[in-house]
Chains A and B, each alone.
Chain A
């Protein structure tokens, strides 16, 4: 079976750093996405990791360890607008098809 685990909720303070973890057990792995989703809106792509290591993009960084089935999203200098749900998704590839297995999402609340 396919399983992706993320914490359900997290709280942090404006200006701080927060790390959202994601662990996965899947049959096959072709990369991992992090998406941000504000309430009532569509998911927005944040990052993609397929090799081990850290990918940095501005205030957001994402890390992957394939041997441990583990990823995290690091958000620095938190802003109020970062309050959203953060979704971890693993890519299962089958030929020309691409299927994502999604975690349930982590709801992040940034407080002043």
Chain B
């Protein structure tokens, strides 16, 4: 099973709403990632979790709050977003360096629109 799943597929939210994006993988990967991608741009790294601990935060605004409840799940909590936060949010997972393959497997993404 090389699948990363994400819910919801689409999300429309107002600037005062609170919502969460969810990501799940069952490949035994201990590194998980959140990316933001705008149209015709490459993915932009937001957060990296290694062994369920936050290891990289790419200076992401606090209105984005990641959470890794266990080794299979990754959440991204959203609050007081701005219209410019509208984008495709991608979750990915991989093995930890030195323990196996290096490739990151991506989920299908959540298309977020902030109104």
Q: A residues touching B (Cβ–Cβ < 8 Å)?
A: 30-31, 33, 40-45, 48, 50, 87, 89, 91, 93, 96-100, 102-105, 107
Chain A min CB distance to B78 (Å): 19
| A33 lies within 8 A of B94 (CB) | no
Q: With A and B bound together, what is the CA distance between A100 and B31 in angstroms?
A: 13
Q: What is the interface of chain A mostly: helix, strand, loop, or mixed?
A: strand
Which of chain B's residues has its CB closest to A91's CB? B102
Query: How many residues from B make CB contacts under 8 Å with A?
Result: 26
For the A-B complex with A96-B51, A96-B96 known, give 4 more contacts whose Cβ atoms are closer than 8 Å. A43-B90, A45-B103, A96-B55, A105-B42
| Per-residue A-contact encoding for B40-74, CB less than 8 Å = 1, 0 else | 11110100101100011000000000000000000
The CA-CA distance from A89 to B31 in the complex, in Å, is: 17
User: How far does the Cβ of B100 sit from chain A's closest Cβ, in whole Å?
Assistant: 12
Collect the chain B residues with CB atoms within 8 Å of residue A31's CB. Answer: 102
- Considering only residues 12-56 of chain B, those with a C-beta below 8 Å from chain A are 31, 40-43, 45, 48, 50-51, 55-56
Q: Are A41 and B42 in contact (CB-based, < 8 A)?
A: no
Partner of B102, one of A87, A98, A102: A98
- The answer to whether B42 touches A87 (Cβ under 8 A) is yes
Is B82 an interface position by the 8 A CB rule? no
CA distance A9 to B112 in the complex (A): 27
Shortest CB–CB separation between residue B5 and chain A, in angstroms? 11
Closest to B90 in A: A42
Contact present for B50 and A96 (CB under 8 Å): yes
B42 touches A99 (CB 8 A): no
* Complex: A11 Cα to B45 Cα, angstroms: 29
A99 and B103 contact, CB distance less than 8 A? no
Q: Mark B75-115, 1 if CB is under 8 A from A, else 0.
A: 00000000000001010001011000111111111010000
What is the bound-complex CA distance between A74 and B43, given in angstroms? 22
